[in-house]
Amino acid sequence: MTDTILPSSKQCAYCEQLKPFADFRRRTGKRSKAHARRGACRDCRKQRAVESGVTPLQSLQPPMPALSRQPESRAAAVASPSPPEVTQSAPKKAGVSLLARSRAERAKERKAAASLPAAKPAAKGRARGAEPRRTPLHHRGPKPEPTDTTALVPSSQGMILMRGHSDKGRRWHQEIDLELAVTLVKEHAAVVVNRRTIRRLYSNKAFRSLILNRDRYTCYFCGLYGDTIDHLLPRAKGGHTTPDNCVCACNLCNQTKADKDVEEFMRRTR
């Protein structure tokens, strides 16, 4: 096997001089190779450490007083260092007070920022003392009578909404034309709810029970017992399932009449 041959020197990235390979630190990353070294040499690292360590200390130290050439007593020499200590403690106290003041100011700013969302309505250009905006009231006309077909106003498609409920109580709705809506209201099968809507009064079972009980289970044509419902004007000729157009009929008359008019059927039975 061949051993890895390390280079004898490397160019520094800072001073750009060739230095021994041992003056560079080894790279410790996961993808770094065994012989990979960093870019700064030993001398540049020392110089950088000295500069970064000396500069902040020199900026914090107060200027030293000039030593007088006159001979002083030993007691004066011992007492002379005391003023620099006082001057050093004063900047420290001032720095602590400034730091505490800045923290208090930041806390006040956070509280003010937290209280801003609560004052959102006032930031929309309206004063707090101003009157609240009044929503325009839609003046609706008087509620129409249940049988007033003149109050019906169709939609832009010419339709009226009809609502109702099934035998199981499930609600349904559908759109019908204005002519059919007027017919259902006039023949007492529906009522007017508003100018756009009518409501069907009876479900299928309720309508059947209404007609049979109204006619007392008596055939409208022959006077015998009847338990079916027949249309006076057949549905094939434009009749509708309404209380005014439906009567009780026996099974024989119902099948014999079929789609004939009432007058025509009565003439034939006579």
List phi, psi (to 5°) of 218: -115, 130
State pLDDT tens for residues 60-86.
444 454 444 444 445 444 444 444 444
- Nearest CA to 14 among 49, 40, 48? 40
Q: ∠ at Cα 203 (201, 209), nearest 5°?
A: 100
Q: Is 10 helix (H, G, I), strand (E, B) or coil?
A: strand
CA distance 109 to 116: 11
State pLDDT tens for residues 83-131.
444 444 444 455 555 566 677 777 878 777 776 655 455 445 555 655 6
The secondary structure element, H or E, covering residue 50 is: helix 42-60
- Nearest CA to 80 among 62, 92, 68? 68
Asked if residues 189 and 201 have their Cβ atoms less than 8 Å apart, the reply is yes
State pLDDT tens for residues 123-161.
455 556 556 666 665 566 788 999 999 999 999 999 999
Who contacts 182 (Cβ-Cβ below 8 Å, separation ≥6)? 149, 152
